[in-house]
Amino acid sequence: MGIVGAFGSAVIAAVSLLAVLLLCGWAVFRLVGMWIGDRLISGGEFALIVSVFLVLMVLALSVGGWMALLLLFLLALVALLTPLMPAMSQSVRSRQMVRTDIARYQEALKRQPDVPYPHRKLGEIYEAQEQWDLAIEHYQAYLEQHEISAEVQRRLERCLVRKRRRDMGLRTCPVCGAENPADAVRCECGFYLRGGREIMDVLTTPDMMRWWKWLIVIFLVPALLIGFVANMMPPTVSIIMLACSVTATLFFIHGRLRSHGGA
């Protein structure tokens, strides 16, 4: 089989092919859930994506050399990214809707500055985006122009508290609600504050995002050009480099989703 010659070893080829098949199976399982359970994609979209999987797999098994490796890598990448596509699409649509709503309410304020309702809606939008300063500004403007609203007052107080925590760098314990310094590792109640979310925050900072972007290229280009095209590296090394590139790609995409979607 041509793919065995591409990997240089039947064992490596079998393991790699099995890994890609398991990854595709996981992606199809997620797609079934998005189609039948969550209704995020249609039946036609499900069939189209699965068809892409099948076409890439058939081509990878039919050709040999570095093209087989490239197609398998592309298949694995598509399988990894497929479950993220609805979230990315929804994130884009949500941002567009938010921008449209902000523009509409700001235009309404220009036409009728004495009408307080747009201030409330803008405050809710900015609160959802965790832009506490703007949310506070519009909630205060609403309360100044409108009779006292208990709901808006509660929202304003919540934004003021969160703005203070942000400005002072305080961390709130999810167990007891106590406020802790930003560098605190454990709360007084004993809860460990440095959890998985904090780890992902560190891995998706702007500096780390630049590193992930460079690592995608640094590992991908030599693996394809030097390893598969020029055949100057063992296939195992090329596969490891491709895996590093895929890992960096996943961290980069996760960071972009968190920054745009507030994940």
Tell me the torsion sign for CA atoms 214, 219, 224, 227: positive
> Can you give the pLDDT at residue 108?
92
- Is residue 187 within 8 Å of 177, Cβ to Cβ? no
| Nearest C-alpha neighbor of 12 from the set 27, 23, 1 | 1
* Cα first-last separation, the chain: 44
> Can you give the pLDDT at residue 193?
64
| Residue 106: how many other CB atoms lie within 10 Å | 11
> Can you give the pLDDT at residue 31?
81
Q: What is the DSSP string of 123-154?
A: HHHHHHTT-HHHHHHHHHHHHHHS---HHHHH
Which two three-digit tokens encode residue 123? 């405050």
- Mean pLDDT, the chain, rounded, equals 79
> Can you give the pLDDT at residue 121?
92
> Can you give the pLDDT at residue 103?
93
> Can you give the pLDDT at residue 139?
92
> Can you give the pLDDT at residue 263?
42
Rg of the chain in Å (alpha carbons): 25
Instruction: Output 142-148 pairs: Cβ under 8 A, ≥24 positions apart.
Output: 142/116, 142/117, 145/114, 145/115, 145/116, 145/119, 146/116, 146/120
Q: Which of the 8 DSSP states describes residue 83?
A: G
Where b means 16+ CB within 10 Å and e means fewer, 218-246 reads ebbebbbeebbeeeebebeebbebbbbbb
Low-confidence ranges of the chain (pLDDT < 50): 1, 262-263
Q: Name 227's Cβ contacts closer than 8 Å, sequence gap at least 6.
A: 66, 233, 234, 235, 237, 238, 241
Q: Identify the three-state secondary structure at position 224.
A: helix
Put simply, whether the predicted model's pTM sits higher than 0.85 gets the answer no
